[in-house]
């Protein structure tokens, strides 16, 4: 009897082990994907391809577009994963971020760090070997700036953190431009400027809604340090500068009617919402600015990509 039980027991054990293996593996995959903050990565990629189209005055080759977008996504994802490792203490305090993979315990901190580094290394090698060194170093520079300048230095030390740190998020058009031309020019600089100036009003609208969270975590975001009124005033000023920068692209890059009309109309809408937020602050107004800002950037760059094909 003892031998029969000993022989029979292992027949059931693999069933117990195999059943949860699939879900666990899928959960792990989802957790690592979440480390890259895919929604942010997608928004960054939306600004890369139009820059490539404008730089080449037409569609780039499918292969060049593919490897550039993959390389950029890997760099951005790597930067975000390292950010999740470095900010794990803050993320655990804030209600908005405590469900992220590291503070929630789905991914060990050291594994998140290694994952981010590996993505960054693969990104650099892919772009350097298949595109060019200029795009590879620009993508690597964006990762390094986001990690060392924004996350490790600015975020916890100054209310200008997102202003200066926004330079990292403004790099994808430069990567796309360099992938096509091998260098940069004033048109590329203006594309960088559009995203750089877009970032403060976009992010501060979100920070206003989570001001208590940032205060609890001792993160000196503008609404925490300067208050709601000053944040809204500066958001309006940055929006004015953003619209001016977007319109400056018209003469510099010889943009046509599609982009010109789109930039003017979208800019007017952004200004109206920012002015309303300044004059009549509140959760509804800040949410409207945040939501509109996402569509604004996506549609503006879609217009940049479409404009070269319209006579």
> Average pLDDT by consecutive 10-residue portion of the chain (311 residues)?
40 39 76 94 92 95 97 97 97 93 95 98 98 98 97 95 94 98 96 98 95 94 95 97 98 96 98 97 95 97 94 59
Residue 281 belongs to a domain: yes
| pLDDT of the residue at 24 | 84
Pair (248, 290) in one structural domain: yes
Residue 6 belongs to a domain: no
Residue 288 belongs to a domain: yes
Residue 124 belongs to a domain: yes
In the chain, the number of structural domains is 2
Residue 174 belongs to a domain: yes
Residue 279 belongs to a domain: yes
Using an 8 Å Cβ cutoff, are 82 and 147 in contact? yes
Pair (106, 254) in one structural domain: no
| pLDDT of the residue at 231 | 96
Pair (46, 161) in one structural domain: yes
CATH of the domain at 165: 1.10.357.140
Pair (154, 194) in one structural domain: no
Pair (81, 126) in one structural domain: yes
Distances in Å between the alpha carbon of 217 and those of 19, 78, 202, 207? 40, 24, 21, 13
* Residue 56, Cβ density class (10 Å: 0-12 exposed, 13-18 middle, ≥19 buried): middle
Pair (117, 91) in one structural domain: yes
Rounded (5°) CA angle 40-289-253 = 70
Pair (109, 175) in one structural domain: yes
Rounded (5°) CA angle 4-7-12 = 115
Residue 5 belongs to a domain: no
Pair (194, 139) in one structural domain: no
- 84's enclosing H/E stretch is helix 62-86
Residue 253 belongs to a domain: yes
Pair (167, 189) in one structural domain: no
Q: What are the structure tokens assigned to 150, written together?
A: 């924004």
Pair (165, 30) in one structural domain: yes
Pair (164, 117) in one structural domain: yes
Pair (30, 176) in one structural domain: yes
| pLDDT of the residue at 311 | 59
> The domain containing residue 294 runs over which residues?
185-311
Which residue among 149, 183, 217 closes a domain?
183
Q: At what angle do helices 109-130 and 2-35 cross, to 10 degrees?
A: 60
| pLDDT of the residue at 310 | 87
């Amino acid at each position: 009897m003892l031998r029969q039980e000993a022989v029979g027991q292992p027949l059931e054990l693999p069933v117990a082990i195999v059943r949860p293996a699939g879900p666990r593996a899928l959960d792990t995959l989802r957790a690592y994907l979440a480390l890259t903050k895919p929604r942010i990565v997608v928004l960054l990629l939306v600004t890369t391809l139009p820059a490539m189209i404008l730089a080449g005055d037409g569609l780039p080759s499918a292969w060049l577009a593919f490897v550039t977008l993959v390389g950029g996504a890997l760099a951005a994802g790597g930067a975000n994963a390292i950010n999740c490792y470095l900010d794990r203490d803050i993320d655990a305090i804030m209600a908005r971020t405590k469900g992220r993979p590291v503070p929630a315990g789905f991914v060990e901190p050291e594994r998140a760090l290694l994952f981010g580094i590996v993505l960054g290394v693969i990104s650099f090698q892919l772009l350097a070997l298949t595109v060019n060194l200029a795009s590879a170093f620009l993508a690597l520079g964006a990762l390094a700036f986001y990690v060392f300048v924004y996350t490790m230095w600015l975020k916890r030390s100054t209310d200008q953190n997102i202003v200066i740190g926004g330079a990292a998020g403004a790099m994808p058009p430069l990567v796309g431009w360099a992938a096509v031309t091998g260098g940069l020019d004033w048109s590329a600089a203006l594309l960088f400027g559009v995203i750089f100036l877009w970032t403060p009003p976009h992010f501060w609208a979100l920070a206003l809604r989570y001001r208590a969270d940032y205060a609890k975590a001792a993160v000196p975001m503008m609404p925490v340090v300067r208050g709601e009124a000053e944040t809204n005033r500066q958001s309006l000023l940055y929006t004015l500068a953003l619209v001016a920068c977007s319109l400056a692209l018209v003469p510099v890059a010889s943009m046509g009617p599609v982009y010109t009309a789109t930039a003017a109309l979208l800019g007017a809408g952004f200004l109206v919402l920012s002015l309303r937020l300044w004059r009549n602050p509140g959760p509804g107004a800040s949410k409207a600015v945040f939501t509109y800002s996402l569509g604004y950037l996506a549609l503006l760059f879609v217009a940049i990509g479409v404009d070269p094909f319209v006579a």
